[in-house]
Each structure stands twice: as structure tokens, then as C-alpha cells.
């Protein structure tokens, strides 16, 4: 009966050892205490991993100490296997990547450096012409438009003739000056002659004094006529020169012509009259052209009172169209912050000067402006894309010879694009600044496999 019980226990131990090798030592202890030979247990334990073989005499005579030696050797083999697995996946906190893998995954690397953290407020605005670069060509005299020498959109230079008027007022002023000039010249000749006679005591003193008075009066009239020409924008020397030219060409007279000149360099952006239009009188068009230099434009911003104290003259402004065209952006500067508030909107007028060399920013366009309200110099500045969060900590990936190393950092101030790093990085170190989420994923996968 005892022999049958022993045989049953042996069979049960073999089956249990084959299905649950992790508890075979426990089963072995129970069976040994029940009187089962150790050779049978050794044969049962070997059957779960090797082909069945008969126990030899050496197996039967081997002591329990030899069994512990085999367990130690198995543990050593297992430890070596785990060590090889760890080397294959990389050390903890490291991601092994070749240069080709980094390039293929578009992981950008850049050196750490200092910079400026700029905080902004976003406000709407409207583009307007620069008030210092816009001018009008007025009709300064009463007359009729005789020539329009520039078309809409034409470029002009400062002082260039853009139109010609036919004006009786101008003709009268020129005639008055020319007459006064001739009269003054004749009276001067007479005065010089009388002075010479008086010096020789040939003529009477009264005659000399009379000639002097008449000449002084003629000179005064000439000076008044010259000032009248100047008030009309005419040059007295040019008038006299043109009068002599008219003497040689009797059929061509410039006496009635009045030339209108551009007040600045730019483009004709508005034309208000045509040839033959009467100008200068009440109810007539006051201007013939509007000239604008649009190489620089203004942006009128409306800043709420809550943000007004943050906006300073000289602050940088980034401008983008309000229609959502994000590719078009430009930078300007605040040149004026009004000390007065609009009574209706309770907002202050802020003017931004914006370079417009390609004339892409047209007056009347609505824009969105980011106004810098603070500029802070920091020794270590990294893009937001370079930072990842792992186990609740901010980390960056530092470039190494074999790939990247995870490094914990502490951040300080920030703006829309970057963070200040207070500890963990030094200027000059190379870090990943784009697609860092791929490195975070690779690191997580490696650590998961290592944990298994």
C-alpha cells in the first residue's frame, strides 16, 4: 500500500513540475519529506526543460548542496541574459540613435544660448498712410487747368512739375513785377547821373534829392512785386528769364502759365481734376493731385486702458493680416502713445511705423498686432518645442555621441515661444529643439522593455 502511494506521489510531482516549474522546489521538499527518492525528483525537474534521460549513479549520489550550486549557476545565467538585454536597449535615460536616424526623423539639434523673452498683447489695428509722407498739390491761384502731366499711379520726384495752370492772376503778378523792375532800373540810372552832377556841383541839390526819392520809390515797388511772386510760389529771377525768352518767341508766352510742383517724392495716389477744370475759386477743387510715399506706413492701434500702461514708445510690434494669412508678417515700432483717451471707446491711440518697401501693406487694411510689453534678457533660452514632461518633470534631450541623453531642468520665465532654463543647462550645449516627442516615445519604449 505504501508503495502505491509513493508511486502516485511521484507521478503527481512530475506532472506538477512540468506545468509549474516555478514551484518545483516547493514540491520537491514535500515529496522528499514523504520519502520520495531525490533521484526521482531530479529526473522530474529535468523533464520540464530537457529531453528525458535516465538518472545516473552520479545523479543519485549528488547531495542537496550540489542542487544549490546548480540554482546559483542558473541565476547567474539569467543575470547575464538581462545584462545583455539592457545593453541592447540602452542605459536608463539614454536614447541611442545614429546620425541617419536623427536626420530621417527630422530631429533638429541646436546649441543652447541666451536671448530675450518678449511678452506681448494682441490688439487690432488699421493701416494708414504715414502723415509725414503724404502731400497734396493745391491750386494756389485762380485759373484753368491747362496740362495734367502725371497719371494716377505715376512716380514723381520732389519739385517735379505735375500740372500747368492758365491764370490771369499769375499774369498780372508777373506783369507788375516786370514793370516795376524796368521802372526801378530807369530810375537808378537817372539817380546815378544826378549824383555824379551833384558831386561836381553842376546840378542843384533839389534835383539830386528828387531823383533819389523817385528811385527809392521804384525800388520799393519792385521789392513788393517780388514778394507777391514769392507768395504765389514763383521765382523772380526765373520770371525775368522767361520774359526775355518770350521776347525772342513772340507767339509763345509764359506770362499766364503757372506750374504746379510735387511737394515730395512718391506716387500719384489720387487725381481730382481734368484738363479745362476751373480751380482756385470758392467751390472749385482745392487740390489737383495727392502724392504719397508708401515706403513707410502707419498702423493705428486702439489699446484698452487696462493694457495702456504696458505699451511704451519704441516697443517692437509684429503685424499680421486679420484675414488669417499667416505667411505675411512684418515688424514695426511704436512711435506714439497718445496721452488722451477716446471718449467713446475709452481706448488710447497708438501709432506704429511699419516699413513697406514692397508696398504689400495697403492703407485701409485691417491687421492684428502683437505689441511687446516686456523684454527680459536671460542667459539660457530654449524653444518650447525642446521641452518635454516625463514623470511630472521638465526635461530636455542633450546630444551625445550615441544619440541623446535625458536631462532634468528647471524653468523660469517664459514668453510665447521660449522658456528660461534656470538649472540643468549651460550655454553651448547641443539639444534637440524639434520633434522631441519622438525621443520621449523612444525613451518610454526602451524603459518599458528594460522593465520587462
User: With 80 as the cut, is the pLDDT of residue 178 above it?
Assistant: yes
- Average the pLDDT over 358-373 and give the result: 90
Identify the pLDDT of residue 40: 46
* The pLDDT of residue 57 is above 50: no
pLDDT per position as a tens digit, 23-33 = 444 445 544 54
Whole-number Å distance between alpha carbons of 163 and 228: 21
CATH 2.40.420.20, the chain: domain bounds: 94-115+377-451
Does residue 354 have a pLDDT over 90? yes
What would the pLDDT profile of 182-223 be if each residue is shown by its tens digit? 899 999 998 888 888 888 888 788 888 898 999 999 999 989
What pairing do the DSSP bridges indicate for beta strands 287-292 and 266-271?
A: antiparallel
Could you give the residue range(s) of every CATH 2.40.30.170 domain in the chain? 120-131+293-375
Q: What is the pLDDT of residue 28?
A: 54
- Which of 81, 96, 80 lies closest to 446, judged by CA? 96
- Summarised one tens digit per residue, pLDDT across range 227-276 is 988 888 888 888 888 777 766 665 667 788 889 999 999 999 999 999 99
- pLDDT (mean) for 426-441: 90
pTM for the complete prediction?
A: 0.55
User: How many C-beta neighbours within 10 Å does residue 390 have?
Assistant: 14
Domain 120-131+293-375: give its CATH architecture.
Beta Barrel (2.40)
Given pLDDT bands bounded at 50, 70 and 90, which one contains residue 150? very high
Query: Which among 273, 264, 282 has a CA at the least distance from the CA of 148?
Result: 273
Q: What residues form DSSP beta bridges with 349?
A: 302
Map residue 14 onto helix, strand or coil. helix
The answer to whether 434 and 114 are in contact (CB under 8 A) is no
Q: What is the mean pLDDT of the chain?
A: 79
Where does the pLDDT of residue 70 fall: very low under 50, low under 70, confident under 90, or very high at 90 and above? very low
**Could you please report the per-residue DSSP string of 103-117?**
HHTT--EEE-EEEEE
Residue 359 Rama label (left phi>0; alpha psi -120 to 50; beta): left
Could you report how far apart the first and last alpha carbons of the chain are, in Å?
A: 48
Residue among 430, 385, 421, 424 nearest 114 (CA) = 421
Over the stretch 287-301, which tens digit does the pLDDT of each residue have? 899 999 999 999 999
Q: pLDDT value at position 250?
A: 59
**Exposed, middle or buried: residue 41 (CB in 10 Å: 0-12, 13-18, 19+)?**
buried
Angle at 50 between CA 45 and CA 53, to 5 degrees: 80
Q: How confident is the model at residue 307 (pLDDT cuts 50, 70, 90)?
A: confident
- What cell was used for 349? 491711440
Phi, then psi, of 412 in degrees rounded to 5:
-120, -115
Return the pLDDT at 325.
Answer: 60
pLDDT score at 430: 92
Was domain 94-115+377-451 assigned CATH 2.40.420.20?
Answer: yes
Reference 271, options 371, 351, 154, 352; nearest CA is 154
Residue 155 has pLDDT above 90, yes or no: yes
Out of 115-129, 146-160, 437-451, pick the least confident. 437-451
Which pLDDT score is estimated for 196?
87
Q: How far apart are CA 380 and CA 121, in angstroms?
A: 24
Amino acid at each position: 500500500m505504501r508503495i502505491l502511494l509513493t508511486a502516485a506521489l511521484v507521478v503527481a510531482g512530475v506532472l506538477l513540475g512540468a506545468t509549474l516549474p516555478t514551484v518545483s522546489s516547493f514540491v520537491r521538499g514535500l515529496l522528499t519529506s514523504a520519502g520520495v527518492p531525490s533521484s526521482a525528483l531530479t529526473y522530474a525537474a529535468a523533464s520540464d526543460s530537457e529531453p528525458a534521460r535516465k538518472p545516473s549513479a552520479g545523479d543519485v549520489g549528488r547531495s542537496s548542496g550540489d542542487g544549490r550550486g546548480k540554482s546559483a549557476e542558473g541565476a547567474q545565467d539569467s543575470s547575464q541574459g538581462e545584462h545583455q538585454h539592457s545593453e541592447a536597449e540602452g542605459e536608463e535615460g539614454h536614447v541611442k540613435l545614429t546620425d541617419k536616424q536623427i536626420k530621417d526623423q527630422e530631429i533638429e539639434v541646436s546649441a543652447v544660448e541666451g536671448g530675450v523673452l518678449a511678452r506681448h498683447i494682441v490688439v487690432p489695428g488699421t493701416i494708414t498712410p504715414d502723415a509725414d509722407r503724404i502731400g497734396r498739390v493745391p491750386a494756389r491761384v485762380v485759373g484753368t487747368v491747362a496740362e495734367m502731366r502725371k497719371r494716377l499711379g505715376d512716380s514723381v520726384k520732389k519739385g517735379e512739375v505735375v500740372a500747368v495752370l492758365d491764370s490771369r492772376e499769375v499774369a498780372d503778378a508777373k506783369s507788375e513785377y516786370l514793370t516795376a523792375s524796368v521802372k526801378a532800373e530807369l530810375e537808378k540810372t537817372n539817380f546815378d547821373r544826378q549824383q555824379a552832377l551833384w558831386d561836381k556841383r553842376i546840378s542843384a541839390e533839389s534835383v539830386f534829392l528828387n531823383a533819389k526819392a523817385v528811385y527809392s520809390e521804384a525800388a520799393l515797388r519792385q521789392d513788393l512785386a517780388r514778394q507777391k511772386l514769392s507768395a504765389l510760389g514763383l521765382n523772380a529771377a526765373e520770371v525775368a528769364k522767361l520774359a526775355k525768352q518770350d521776347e525772342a518767341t513772340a507767339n509763345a508766352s509764359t506770362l499766364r502759365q503757372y506750374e504746379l510742383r510735387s511737394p515730395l517724392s512718391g506716387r500719384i495716389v489720387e487725381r481730382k481734376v481734368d484738363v479745362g477744370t476751373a480751380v482756385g475759386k470758392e467751390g472749385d477743387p482745392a487740390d489737383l493731385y495727392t502724392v504719397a510715399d508708401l515706403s513707410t506706413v502707419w498702423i493705428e492701434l486702439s489699446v484698452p486702458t487696462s493694457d495702456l500702461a504696458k505699451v511704451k514708445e519704441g516697443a517692437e510690434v509684429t503685424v499680421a493680416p486679420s484675414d488669417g494669412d499667416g505667411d505675411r508678417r512684418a515688424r514695426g515700432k511704436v512711435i506714439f502713445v497718445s496721452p488722451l483717451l477716446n471718449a467713446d471707446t475709452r481706448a488710447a491711440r497708438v501709432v506704429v511705423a511699419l516699413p513697406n518697401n514692397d508696398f504689400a501693406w495697403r492703407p485701409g487694411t485691417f491687421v492684428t498686432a502683437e505689441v511687446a510689453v516686456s523684454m527680459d534678457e536671460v542667459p539660457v533660452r530654449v524653444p518650447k518645442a525642446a521641452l518635454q514632461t516625463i514623470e511630472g518633470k521638465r526635461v530636455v534631450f542633450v546630444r551625445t555621441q550615441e544619440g541623446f541623453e535625458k536631462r532634468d531642468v528647471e524653468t523660469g520665465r517664459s514668453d510665447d515661444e521660449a522658456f528660461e532654463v534656470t538649472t540643468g543647462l549651460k550655454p553651448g550645449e547641443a539639444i534637440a529643439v524639434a520633434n522631441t516627442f519622438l525621443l520621449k516615445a523612444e525613451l518610454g519604449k526602451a524603459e518599458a522593455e528594460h522593465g520587462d
